[in-house]
Amino acid sequence: MERTHLSPYTNHHHTTTKHHPYSDSGATETCPDDDKWASRLLRECAQAISNKDSGKINHLLWMLNELSSPYGDFDQKLAYYFLQALFCKATDSGQRCYKTLVNVADKSHCFDSARKLILKFQEVSPWTTFGHVASNGAILEAFDGETKLHIIDISNTLCTQWPTLLEALATRSDETPSLKLTVVVTAAMVRSVMKEITSRMEKFARLMGVPFAFNVINGSDRPLGKLTKEELGVEDDEAIAVNCMGALRRVEVEERVDVIRLFGSLNPRVVTVVEEEADFTTSRNDFVKCFEESLRFYTLYFEMLEESFSPTSNERLALERECSRSIVRVLSCDDNHNIGLGDCERREKGNQWCERLNEHFSPVGFSDDVVDDVKALLKRYRTGWSMALDQTNPNSNKGSGILLAWKDEPVVWASAWKP
């Protein structure tokens, strides 16, 4: 196909004035509602790619390129970020494009900017703090009465989850326990800032008066399930908790059973799992179905960002760009398992994770106190957020966890498990 009409790296500077997406196009016989032009054009383009209709692909990509902008209204933004993935899929350039996007982001990645972005996101949205509060509550309850604690943290949120847990341990009515925190890093960009995080965590633990040890393990250069108890520093007299915060989606689907088996071998008091509520696995061999699920999920995410940040927010733009890399990864290169970046994006929904976890664990369910803490957290944010119990697990009358919903659409699933 012709590649001269557009490039995924083009900087667009369109005004936010709405264009009619089907003007002089001949792309469809009926005109869609103006409010839905982006999703309709994107769906039509995805179908054309699936059908290998090169003429229609060229025409729709050209239209999307003309109409989209990362600085425009919601539809223009949605079109822009999905256009890049569709272009890469159509030209079989996803792997090269994704590596370029990651390399560019990596060069500008530093601790201060990453920390400010995460903290600002947590300030305006409970997308990550929901899982932090739920998991911390379950971990603290599982550690009740224990004096030698070890948390194995598999996440990429720069340890923003742990200051509140350290405060809770410092104010425990009985003896202050010791805490060992082992962070397994699964994202390449996070590795570069772990030295600074180590220093800050150790300083905060001293301030809280909690005996503390901090270890970092690189989990991005090999399958996570290949880690051993010895590498993780697990000792027989420790109370173990395994915390997985949005990181298991980076594990290849075929290797997830091995990871869950590893968790079981550690004999943990609790395993907490928090994942975004999207399914990019069952449709992995059907591009149109995978596209539809991606469009559904990321539309919710972009809508949430639009209503949470100001239109000129640099943080919002950074989060959207980060999200766009995930869209490229999901739609245009995720069938290539070994691109060397440890960055799988095959999300699964809570009921799918339950099927895997039920083989080795039983759901704990969150206590009334933890649920109340989560509800109190959501009250700090704008209207539109809610919590629901997930009742999909047939093996437990407690259900399989709790769901964070944005405008009644589930977006994040949190759960706690025991061997």
pLDDT in tens, 256-299: 999 999 999 999 999 999 999 999 888 778 999 999 999 999 99
Please indicate, yes or no, if residue 170 is contained in any of the structural domains: yes
Per-residue pLDDT at 341 exceeds 60: no
Residue 269, φ and ψ in degrees, nearest 5: -70, -30
- Residue 250: predicted pLDDT: 82
Per-residue model confidence (pLDDT) at position 156: 80
How much is the pLDDT for 224? 85
Sequence-ordered list of residues with C-beta below 8 angstroms from that of 233, at least 6 positions apart, any chain: 150, 180, 182, 215
pLDDT tens string 344-375 = 678 899 999 999 999 999 999 899 999 999 99
Provide the pLDDT for residue 172: 87
Reported as a single tens digit per residue, the pLDDT across 61-78 is: 999 999 999 988 999 999
Tokens of 391: 């009742």
pTM reported for the whole predicted model = 0.87
Same domain, 275 and 305: no
Phi first, then psi, for residue 7 (nearest 5°) are -135, 145
Residue 138 in any domain: the answer is yes
SS3 52: coil
Q: Is there a contact between 45 and 57 (Cβ–Cβ < 8 Å)?
A: yes
Whether residues 119 and 252 fall in one domain: no
Query: What pLDDT is stored for residue 365 in this prediction?
Result: 87
HSE-CB at 269 with a 13 A cutoff on CA atoms is: 22
For tokens 């390449």, the residue is 188
pLDDT value at 16 more than 60: no
Residues 258, 397 share a domain: yes
CA separation for the pair 47, 35 (Å, rounded):
21
Residues 8 and 20 placed together within one structural domain of the fold: yes
What are the pLDDT digits (tens) for 183-225? 998 776 666 788 889 999 999 999 999 999 999 998 777 788 8
Domain enclosing residue 263, as ranges: 128-279+343-418
Last residue of a domain, one of 294, 311, 332: 332
Check which CATH number belongs to the domain holding 408 and give it. Answer: 3.40.50.150
User: How many domains is the chain built from?
Assistant: 2
Say yes or no: 266 and 368 in one domain.
yes
313-327 pLDDT, tens digit per residue, is 999 999 999 899 899
> 3-state class of 130 per DSSP?
helix
First to last CA, the chain: 54
Residue 247 has pLDDT above 90, yes or no: no
Is there a single domain that holds both residue 301 and residue 234? no
Are residues 36 and 105 both part of a single domain? yes
Give the residue carrying structure tokens 């759960």: 415
d(CA 67, CA 18): 8
Flag whether 338 is in a domain: no
What distance in Å separates the CA atoms of residue 77 and residue 278, rounded to the nearest whole number?
21
Q: Does pLDDT of 30 surpass 50? A: no
> Is there a single domain that holds both residue 320 and residue 381?
no
In which element (H, E) is residue 387 found?
strand 385-390
> Do both 70 and 173 map to the same domain?
no
Same-domain pairing of 150 and 113: no
Instruction: Give a yes or no: residue 162 inside a domain.
Output: yes
| C-alpha 51: how far from chain center | 30
